Structure 1
Amino acid sequence: GDRGMRTWRVGTFSMGGALVLLGLFLFLSRFFGFDLIQAMTAWWPVLLIVLGIEILLYLFLSRQEKPILKYDFLSIVFVGIIGMVGIAFAVLNTTGLTGKIEEVMVREERSFELPDFTYQVNADIKRVVVRTTGYDMTIESSPENAVSMFGTYRVQTADNTKLIKRPDDYISANQKGDTLYINVKSLPNEVAPFNQEGEMAATILVPNNIKVEVIGSDNTLRLKPRMLTSNWNIESASSIVLDTSESKDLKIAAVGVQEVTGKDGEWKVTEKPATGEGEPSLKSAIFQSGEGKYTINIANAYQVSLNSGQ
């Protein structure tokens, strides 16, 4: 009759204990502001101790009779899993990864201003080469003898510290002979997989009397030639929006583009037949205002659209 009394499923007690402990920790951490991760790392070994004690106690108590040791496997598995999670937390804690994970949990998107960049252009410089990254950029001509860049960037961050403290963090300028090379850099990226790409919305001002070459990277470029008195070459952008509202003397020559849009009838388009099956047909198109003294050459863009400041 009392045989049933002695069958004690080992593990049940630990499972109960584990839940009580876990509950207590979570409860207290709300009130006393324990660091949850530290609490986890602190308490999981207690579980294993409880389970061990339970097994030993059981074996000790049932020494008199033939022990019928039944394990409550579900409970032991549960305790084991919690133990494993605890070990994982402990390992992560020592590698400092938990800080990163915690940081990701409290991230939100924030916008910051880019520190202003200005590079004075002397008389030796005859052309400027701008290499952009995947961000959308506006390139505008200006009467000043300087190349400058300003704008904002958005990133997912856990704190208010700016990723970009000085212009060198996002742009570099090197003068070689008569050419000024401007490289726009990617926003500093925290260790993947903890960060999504940031976004940048920036404007680059270039002197209107200097030849400009822009190398895109399949991004959207907005061009504002304004009072341009030199030639521009633009290549490898996915989409180009041209504001021609202030340009009196401009010719835009697009080669190898798939679409040109804008005010009807202003583009003269010649279509090249598609080269192979499934290949898009590429167009060459020309737009002209005034005598077309200054040219913007566009190559390898997907789409070029005119925006006449409507």
Structure 2
Amino acid sequence: MKMIRIKRVGNISMGLVLIAFGVILFLSQFNGISVLKTASGVWPIILILLGIEILWCRYASKDENTSIKYDLFSIFTVLVILMFNLGIYAAEETGIMNRVQQMFLSEHYNIDVSLNEYALDEGLKKIIIDDTDNLVIRSSDDNRISGIAKLYVYASSKKDAEDLSSSEHLRYKRSGDTLYIYSVSNKENNYSYSMSKGTELFIPQNVEVEIMNCRNIDLIYADFSNKWTIDGVNTINIRLEKMSDVRINAFVESIDSLYGNIKWSFDSFGEYTNGEGANHINILNSGNVVVNEV
């Protein structure tokens, strides 16, 4: 009885595949070859090598008692190694690996930055501030708008956080005698972002001001001699100096929306007058109004 010899096919071709793949990975580190593109283009070579090995074994084994079987374990192992390495390179080339690294390396930073300033001329009569989050307003001694933005920045380093927060945070647009002020939306790049926690704004004392669609406002009312209109704000906090000459009209649903240490009068709307009430603050379509005199 003749013994049947078994020759396994696949280990030689799979070895050549590993060598070729290693060469591709090695060269990609020096000349910028895309491993994914190269692998997707040459993968049919695996079939060619496997077919050549089968034909060679058939040709070299003229003994009829020789049986050829596929070395499935070697083929499977090599394919797993290839898929694993290609997965790593795919994550690197598509930026997923960098994102994962940034997630572990990034931190949160609180940064205060100076706002881009705007000089007013005599022809400007009104300022309209639209769509900001948390706003603190103080009077300015000169005829210039300035301020500070408080930012919450997520970045991989303090330098990256400062770079992300270095651009403008307010946008000015003038139309006739009116200046419009808009907040610039949150900034981000691939791995970092910044968002505003609040803005402190210094405004000239004698220019009419209108504020619309803001979340919260803290108005430090001192030395102003102008008219204010506040419309569509969730919470309004006003701190008055005792010597302020101002009248506040708060058009709210009930006196339950009016707070503070002043004595409100209410007859269809809240009203408070200090001094002769020469300067007006009109509050429309807003939530709670808190006025404290200091």
Fold-level similarity (TM above 0.5): yes
Amino acid at match of 2:260: K
Alignment of 1:304 with 2:265, yes or no, is: no
Structure having the higher strand fraction is 2
What residue number does 2:212 align with? 215
What residue number does 1:68 align with? 69
Alignment of 1:224 with 2:211, yes or no, is: no
1:211-250 superposed Cα distances (whole Å, 9 cap, x missing partner)? 1111234x22211122322111112222222222456333
What is the Cα-based RMSD across aligned positions, in Å?
Answer: 4.8
1:100-157 superposed Cα distances (whole Å, 9 cap, x missing partner)? 6377333322333323433333332222222243x32211223432222224323222
Separation of aligned partners in 1, 2:277 and 2:4 = 104
Separation of aligned partners in 2, 1:177 and 1:165 = 30
Separation of aligned partners in 2, 1:199 and 1:57 = 65
Classify the secondary structure of the residue corresponding to 2:164.
Answer: coil
Over 3 Å counting, the alpha-carbon distance change for 1:207 and 1:265 in structure 2 is closer
Alignment of 1:292 with 2:277, yes or no, is: yes
Classify the secondary structure of the residue corresponding to 1:82.
Answer: helix
Unaligned runs of 5+ in 1: 26-34, 272-283
Classify the secondary structure of the residue corresponding to 1:204.
Answer: strand
1:67-113 superposed Cα distances (whole Å, 9 cap, x missing partner)? 33363497566445425414624652xxxx46963773333223333
How big is the shift at 1:178?
A: 2.4
Over 3 Å counting, the alpha-carbon distance change for 1:172 and 1:196 in structure 2 is closer
Worse-matched range after superposition: 228-237 or 54-63: 54-63
Classify the secondary structure of the residue corresponding to 1:236.
Answer: strand
How big is the shift at 1:295?
A: 1.9
What residue number does 1:235 align with? 231
What residue number does 1:276 align with? none
Amino acid at match of 1:153: L
CA contact (8 A) 1:114 1:152 kept: yes
What residue number does 2:145 align with? 147
Over 3 Å counting, the alpha-carbon distance change for 1:145 and 1:68 in structure 2 is same
Separation of aligned partners in 2, 1:87 and 1:99 = 9
Q: 2:249 aligns with which of 247, 253, 260?
A: 253
Unaligned runs of 5+ in 2: none
Classify the secondary structure of the residue corresponding to 1:238.
Answer: strand
How big is the shift at 1:263?
A: 2.7
How big is the shift at 1:158?
A: 3.0
Alignment of 1:182 with 2:181, yes or no, is: yes
1:233-291 superposed Cα distances (whole Å, 9 cap, x missing partner)? 112222222222456333322235686252367334567xxxxxxxxxxxx43333334
Classify the secondary structure of the residue corresponding to 2:260.
Answer: coil
Separation of aligned partners in 1, 2:68 and 2:258 = 87
Separation of aligned partners in 2, 1:214 and 1:90 = 48
Over 3 Å counting, the alpha-carbon distance change for 1:227 and 1:99 in structure 2 is farther
Separation of aligned partners in 2, 1:62 and 1:171 = 76
Amino acid at match of 1:107: S
Amino acid at match of 1:157: A
TM-score by length of 1: 0.64
Over 3 Å counting, the alpha-carbon distance change for 1:140 and 1:90 in structure 2 is closer
CA contact (8 A) 1:139 1:206 kept: yes
Count of residue pairs brought into register by the alignment: 273
Alignment of 1:204 with 2:201, yes or no, is: yes
Separation of aligned partners in 2, 1:297 and 1:184 = 23
What residue number does 2:90 align with? 88
CA contact (8 A) 1:136 1:201 kept: yes
1:152-201 superposed Cα distances (whole Å, 9 cap, x missing partner)? 323222341423446xx22233443322333332243325xx44452243
What residue number does 1:131 align with? 130
Larger Rg: 2
Separation of aligned partners in 2, 1:270 and 1:62 = 103
